[in-house]
Amino acid sequence: MTVLAIDIGGTKFAAALVRPDGSMDRRTEVPVGPDPTATLASLVREVGPAEVTGVGIGSAGPVDVTAGRVSPVNIPAWRDFPLADTVGGLVPAVPVALAGDGQCMALGEWWRGGHGPASRALLGIVVSTGVGGGVVLDGEPYLGPTGNAGHIGHITVDRDGEPCPCGATGCLETIASGPSMVRWALANGWRAAAGHPDARALASDAARGIPVARLAFQRAADALATAILTAAALFDLDEVVVGGGVSGAGDTLLTPLRQAVAKQAGLGFLHRLTVTRTALERDAGLYGAAALVLPREVRPPAGR
């Protein structure tokens, strides 16, 4: 049994063949060209589709899993794009499943990142140009009726905060996404020590102890902790896995984040929450996409 896993990001598409034992073949990543549908078709032709038993797709959102349609914010050419049907046309006669990229990241971490089966309620968070996420309950992704469960980036953490492009105010994403952190730091006097003032440069300055850069990470960590504890109180989470480009800062983000979670946690059960960094990096999304079309019985979770 081999499935085709596809990860639709805002700037890159990735695909691979994945088997129930977690082996991954022909992993390929391509930049999205001017015609994203053509990029998708050539990627699928290159990686598959010989003898696959299913196709799992994780896509940047918003997604509509019922209709199989996606409208990735960074791919304007795709609005209500029939992604599942398009892939079904490229790989006929097998089931095609679609979920959000954050949900696939969470499911991939649960399956291959050493978190299942001990973790019964896991939240995956992707901190990148936006903030996304997904919840895995008892080994199954909780997608919600439209497929948008896990949108933790749009939990309000500051009612008096900045307007968010989504239409709400003070969303987590307005504080903790890479561009939001950089914007705040620049407005508060940060000048990148070297190169372009992006999240990577901010992380390196924070690691060197530059106060305004450290404060930007502290502020993001405090906001992330608020959103994480909101989710933890709802779902009795036992584990949070943080991925995405900004998590590449490692302990520069994770240390203040763990401290903020411990400090803000109220009820006793919230104190058992553990916060770790992704074990799988960018492969988490591909593993999760694959898991959508691999029956649970044939894919026992990898041990720690």
Contact set with Zn ion (CB under 5 A): 154, 164, 166, 168, 171
* CA–CA–CA angle 21, 27, 31 (5° rounding): 145
CA distance 199 to 184: 11
Output 75 or 227, the one with its CB closest to Zn ion: 227
Output 69 or 154, the one with its CB closest to Zn ion: 154
- φ/ψ of residue 42, rounded to 5: -70, -35
Shortest approach of Zn ion to residue 88 CB, angstroms? Answer: 32
- Judge residue 145's burial from the number of C-beta atoms within 10 Å of its C-beta, 0-12 exposed, 13-18 middle, 19 or more buried: exposed
- φ/ψ of residue 125, rounded to 5: -125, 135
**Which pair of tokens denotes residue 73?**
């914010």
Shortest approach of Zn ion to residue 101 CB, angstroms? Answer: 17
Output 90 or 223, the one with its CB closest to Zn ion: 223
- φ/ψ of residue 206, rounded to 5: -65, -40
Shortest approach of Zn ion to residue 147 CB, angstroms? Answer: 17
Shortest approach of Zn ion to residue 156 CB, angstroms? Answer: 8
Shortest approach of Zn ion to residue 103 CB, angstroms? Answer: 18
Output 171 or 203, the one with its CB closest to Zn ion: 171
Shortest approach of Zn ion to residue 228 CB, angstroms? Answer: 16
**CB-CB contact of 252 with 206 (8 Å):** yes
Shortest approach of Zn ion to residue 256 CB, angstroms? Answer: 23
> How many angstroms separate the Cα of 155 from the Cα of each of 61, 85, 141?
16, 31, 19
**Which pair of tokens denotes residue 239?**
């584990």
**Which pair of tokens denotes residue 180?**
């939001």
Output 132 or 256, the one with its CB closest to Zn ion: 132
Shortest approach of Zn ion to residue 167 CB, angstroms? Answer: 7
Contacts 24+ apart (CB under 8 A), 220-223: 220/127, 220/175, 220/176, 220/180, 220/181, 220/246, 220/253, 221/253, 221/256, 221/257, 221/259, 221/260, 222/256, 222/260, 222/264, 223/157, 223/158, 223/172, 223/175, 223/176
Output 67 or 166, the one with its CB closest to Zn ion: 166
Output 168 or 302, the one with its CB closest to Zn ion: 168
Output 97 or 172, the one with its CB closest to Zn ion: 172
Question: Is it true that the peptide bond before 211 is cis, omega within 30 degrees of 0?
Answer: no
CA distance 67 to 265: 39
